[in-house]
Amino acid sequence: MRAAGKGRFQGKVDPVAEAFGRSVHFDQRLARHDLEGSRAHAAVLAKAGILRRKEVAAIRKGLDRIEREIVQGKFRWKDSLEDVHMNIEAALTARVPAGAKLHTGRSRNDQIATDMRLWLRETIQSDVAAVTSLQKALVGLGMRYKEVILPGYTHLQRGQPVLLAHHLLAYVEMLERDKGRLADAARRADVLPLGSGALAGSTLKLNRELARKLLRFRETSANSMDAVADRDFLVEYLAAVALGGVHLSRLAEDLILFSTSEFGFLRFGEAFTTGSSLMPQKRNPDVAELVRGKSGRLCGHLVALLTILKGLPLTYNRDLQEDKEAVFDAADTWKKSLEVMARAVSSIEVDAGACLYAASAPELLATDVADALVQSGMPFRRAHQVVGAAVRAAEERGTRIDRLEERDWNGLTDRDWKAVVAVLHGSSPSARLRRALQSREGVSGAPSPSGIQAELRRWVQRLK
């Protein structure tokens, strides 16, 4: 902000340049954090003998009044005052004469760095709660359909049978890692820059430890130049959010595929689908598609901030104003994606019969047959070749591997044939699949029925 006829500059800023540099339209969301920092700074100035007790009381009263007006939507934001800091300072000074002293020993450089850290710390707490809600929705869906078996895929080709709950819990694990990355970002954001000034601190004896305690930071910054230039904590947040968005996109893609007529495994609730403007029969999974699309936006914001930072010399440069729109939009997009995905997942209905039918193809047990041959004494590479040859023979005859007779399996001993029969023959396809899954009992991380039941119960307790 430049006042005509005062200080270093005499003339007015070009109106186009003034509008170009304005940030109050997006950084006003930091108002509450800016007010919190100002209250702490007032206490520090009092400790340093800059402010008298009555002045501090008047400043606090003025800041409280401004906060009430902002909450009630009555505060008048002025574009001419450029940013959130100058708007609040001007309003305070107009009401409280001592407000003109509040910026003593403080720069907008350390002020905005403090505001962003306060904002991020609070935002991450909200993000973690939203991630947990989506985890609960996935676990809840797994609990509702804990007996459902469907194919597991590699290369989008059917591979081996798994429990639906096992598939869903894979995403619960991903989301738990996302929470860990968010916690890491919050920990490194928990450093107080206030007191660093524009870049070289202050000649005034400001008690930064008092500010740290009042603002509940874990520690104070060690280097004043780094403190005002650092945006690593925002990069880490955007990296965590971008990867979280990728996880949501992968989940959305699975659910979109599974809801198609070609798969037919599940349906989203009508509230999370749309129709076609032309084709009356359509039921499109638009919400999941939007979540998938918005992941690109989240990745873009990470790249944008990294690109802004890569060429900046120390310390503060106006380029850093560009961090806020990227970070704010990423935070909003991430939070909304989590919230809508949790609700969409909770609306899903699973067609257990369609899942079982897809998983019942005996070829999905080919690996289990190879394992059984290994247990009967055959080397794995030989077992792999034998089973592969049997699958090929079945394809050439237009039949299935479980309908081949002993003579169709080349070079098997009686013991080997019994191993094949134990996996592929007898009982219903459903019973064979359950037997295959039960054979994974005792192998941690595998989709055995008892193991998955235990995992579901563990997550229910953990997410409480």
Length of the chain: 464
Per the CB < 8 A criterion, the answer to whether 95 and 60 are in contact is no
Same domain, 348 and 449: no
SS3 219: strand
288 is a domain residue: yes
Last residue of one domain, picked from the residues 295, 325, 357: 357
371/447 same-domain check: yes
For 429-458, the pLDDT digits (tens) are 899 999 999 999 989 999 999 999 999 999
Residue 62, number of CB atoms within 10 A of its CB: 22
Same domain, 77 and 124: no
Whether pLDDT at 300 is above 80: yes
Whether 295 is in a domain gets the answer yes
% pLDDT > 70, the chain: 99
Residue closest to 230 by CA, chosen among 328, 326, 106, 315: 315
Amino acid residing at 246: V
Separation of alpha carbons 389 and 228, rounded Å: 67
Question: Is residue 67 pLDDT above 70, yes or no?
Answer: yes
Listed range (51-60, 246-255, 416-425) with the worst mean pLDDT:
416-425
Q: Give 313-343 pLDDT, tens digit per residue.
A: 999 999 999 999 999 999 999 999 999 999 9
Cα(272)–Cα(283) distance, rounded to whole angstroms?
10
Distance separating alpha carbons of residues 238 and 189, to the nearest angstrom: 13
Q: Report residue 273 as tokens.
A: 């689908």
Question: What would the pLDDT profile of 216-257 be if each residue is shown by its tens digit?
Answer: 999 999 999 999 999 999 999 999 999 999 999 999 999 999
Q: What is the pTM of this model?
A: 0.94
The CATH number covering residue 386 comes to 1.10.40.30
The DSSP call for residue 12 is P
Distances (CA, A) of 126 to 114, 123, 130, 131, 179: 19, 5, 6, 9, 11
Q: Is residue 7 a part of any domain in this protein?
A: no
- Of 268 and 279, the one with more pLDDT: 268
Q: Which two tokens stand for residue 352?
A: 């257990």
pLDDT at 276: 87
> Left, alpha or beta for 357 (phi > 0: left; psi -120 to 50: alpha)?
alpha
Comparing CA positions, the residue from 109, 122, 110, 107 lying closest to residue 189 is: 122
Within-domain flag for 1:
no
The mean predicted confidence, pLDDT, of the chain is 95
Identify whether residues 61 and 162 lie together within a single domain.
no
Residues 117 and 259 occupy one common structural domain: yes
pLDDT in tens, 165-190: 999 999 999 999 999 999 999 999 99
User: Residue 75: its pLDDT value, please?
Assistant: 98
Positions marked active-site: 155, 276
In terms of domains, do 220 and 149 share one? yes
Q: What is the pLDDT of residue 6?
A: 62
Residues 6+ apart with CB under 8 A from 244: 131, 175, 178, 181, 182, 298, 334, 338
Mean pLDDT of 34-55: 98
Last residue in a domain, options 54, 85, 104: 104
Q: Which domain holds residue 190?
A: 109-357
Residue 5 has pLDDT above 80, yes or no: no
What pLDDT does residue 4 have?
A: 39
The enclosing domain of 337 has a CATH number of: 1.20.200.10
Pure H helices in 282-396: 286-309, 323-346, 352-359, 366-375, 380-396
CA distances from 185 to 122, 180, 238, 278 (A): 12, 9, 9, 47
Reduced to 3 states, what is the DSSP secondary structure of residue 344? helix
Q: In sequence order, what are the beta bridge partners of 160?
A: 152
Mean of pLDDT values over 138-152: 98
On whether residue 389 sits in a domain, the answer given is yes
SS3 425: coil
Greatest alpha-carbon pair distance for the chain in Å reads 102
Picking from 104, 132, 152, the residue at the C-terminal end of a domain is 104
Residue type, 401: I
Please report whether residue 8 resides in a domain. no
Q: Which residues pair with 157 in a beta bridge?
A: 154
Provide the β-strand partners of residue 152.
160
Note whether 157 and 187 are same-domain residues. Answer: yes
What's the mean pLDDT in 36-42? 98
Q: What is the pairing mode between strands 149-154 and 157-163?
A: antiparallel
How many structural domains comprise the chain? 3
% of the chain at pLDDT higher than 90: 93
Tokens 């909770």 belong to 346
Which residues are registered as beta bridge partners of 149?
A: 163
Q: What does the pLDDT read at residue 13? A: 86
Same domain flag for 138 and 118: yes
- Measured CA to CA, the distance from residue 394 to residue 400 in angstroms comes to 5
* Statement to judge: residues 409 and 273 lie in one domain: no
**Is the model's pLDDT at 288 over the cut of 80?**
yes
pLDDT tens for residues 342-399? 999 999 999 999 999 999 999 999 999 999 999 999 999 999 999 999 999 999 999 9
Q: What is the pLDDT of residue 248?
A: 98
Q: In the beta sheet, which residues pair with residue 9?
A: 6
- Do residues 265 and 345 both lie within one domain? yes
For residues 191-210, b (16+ Cβ closer than 10 Å) or e, as one string? bbbbbbbbbebbeeebebeb
Question: Would residue 417 count as lying in a domain?
Answer: yes
- Specify whether 192 is located in the same domain as 143: yes
Q: 10 lies in a domain?
A: no
Predicted pLDDT of residue 114 = 98
Give 129's contacts (C-beta < 8 A, 6+ positions apart): none
CA distance 410 to 378: 13
| Same domain, yes or no: 48 and 179 | no
